[in-house]
Amino acid sequence: MEETSLSRQYDTPMGLAHTTMQALKDRIKLHYDLASDYYLSLWGEHIHHGYWPTDESKAGESKEVAQANLIQLLLDVSGLKDKKDLRVLDVGCGVGGTSRYLAAHLGATVTGITISTRQVELATKLAAEHEPTTDDDARAPAPAGATPDKTGIDTPFIAVGTGRVRFVELDAEKMGDVFAAETAKFDVVWISEALSHFPDKALFFRNAAAVLGADGRLVVADWFKGIDLTQKVFDADIKPIEDGMLLPPLCTQADYVQLATDAGLKVHSAPKDISGDVKKTWDLSWNLVQNPSLWAFALSQGRDGIAFLQAFRAMRRGYANGSFRYAVMSFSL
């Protein structure tokens, strides 16, 4: 698809510097409050990469199938594929696509947290519209021990398939304190393409370890910078992504392993680099965002809006050059 005149006009990412970490958080919240409806309409309920395994028979799969493929891959690498009745904390849950998938397919009880007020609204609405397995499942109460009775979070669970979901507006940096008093700890902390937004990643890994139960799993999918990048390559490929996607400095895959082990977690599944199997996401995304109405919306949001859309081009270039990477991994207590 040809680029719009607006995408050609704003050829240089124009994001503002992050003056403080709180200012960055505020900008992230504002971005997702404003843009999540567009994400939902353009990309669907799963606001994450698609996974097209290197297999000719799968090359033509739809983005919806590819997004489900990524969830299944994460279940595989974390050893959770055949587990049932799990208690899951979905961190940076977006509009709740993964939370609902885990509830419907694994019978999981899932708490999704996000910094965005609008994402909580959309995720809850979509869950309420989901068809329960039977009439008796509708609005079923959470199983014993699943409802926090000491945290002040009284959001009810909604039946999705044989599982349940609820969505809570919460800064993930506070999750350790908020869920420390849970009657039962989580079996799984799931975070897909959200950790790269977090200013204090070491704190996240400590919090994950604190809220996981015995033999719990931390499941991670995220974006990374390549190793040993020259300053020229970093400035051309990575800096526009950090600026446009409102990211603090990107880590390498090895950085996450070090942070996890420093927090007392063990490597369950070492980083699996699937950059080549997900990069099609950004070809599809770049085509989708050529919609003139989206560029007009981005322009109305000022520098951040245009820089965000232009970061899509940098993502494609980074994958092509090998400077921008994608990996999945899991950890255990």
Q: pLDDT above 70 covers what percent of the chain? A: 80
The model's pTM is 0.85
Residue type, 135: D
The pair of structure tokens assigned to 195 is: 């950790």
Classify residue 137 by its DSSP letter.
G
Residue type, 60: G
Kindly provide the residue ranges of all beta strands, DSSP E only, lying in the chain, ordered along the sequence.
87-91, 109-114, 158-160, 163-169, 186-192, 212-225, 266-273, 324-332
Residues 6+ apart with CB under 8 A from 313: 240, 286
Minimum mean pLDDT among 23-27, 64-68, 177-181: which range? 23-27
Short-list 199, 233, 190, CA closest to 330: 190
Mean pLDDT of the chain: 84
Residue type, 67: Q
Residue type, 101: Y
Query: What tens digit of pLDDT does each residue of 134-170 get?
Result: 444 443 444 434 443 344 578 999 999 999 999 999 9
Return the number of other C-beta atoms located less than 10 Å from residue 30's C-beta.
16
pLDDT band (50, 70, 90) for residue 10: very low
pLDDT at 294: 67
Strands 212-225 and 324-332, sheet pairing? antiparallel
The pair of structure tokens assigned to 170 is: 């919460």
pLDDT band (50, 70, 90) for residue 58: low
What's the Rg (C-alpha) of the chain?
A: 19
Query: What tens digit of pLDDT does each residue of 207-259 get?
Result: 999 999 999 999 999 999 999 999 999 999 999 999 888 889 999 999 999 99
pLDDT at 57: 59
Q: Which residue has the tokens 């353009």?
A: 42
Short-list 111, 214, 104, CA closest to 169: 111
Q: Could you give the C-alpha distances from 254 to 169, 308, 328, in angstroms and in order? A: 30, 27, 12
Give just the sign of the alpha carbon dihedral 90, 124, 97, 25.
Answer: negative
User: For the domain with range 5-332, which CATH number is right: 1.50.10.10, 3.40.640.10, 3.40.50.150, 3.40.30.10?
Assistant: 3.40.50.150
pLDDT at 20: 64
Residue type, 250: L
The pair of structure tokens assigned to 122 is: 């959309």
Residue 281 CA to residue 50 CA, distance in Å, equals: 6
pLDDT at 105: 94
Classify residue 132 by its DSSP letter.
B
Angle at 223 between CA 95 and CA 192, to 5 degrees: 30
Query: What tens digit of pLDDT does each residue of 251-289 get?
Result: 999 999 999 999 999 999 999 999 999 999 988 877 766
Using an 8 Å Cβ cutoff, are 158 and 164 in contact?
yes
Residue 82 CA to residue 76 CA, distance in Å, equals: 9
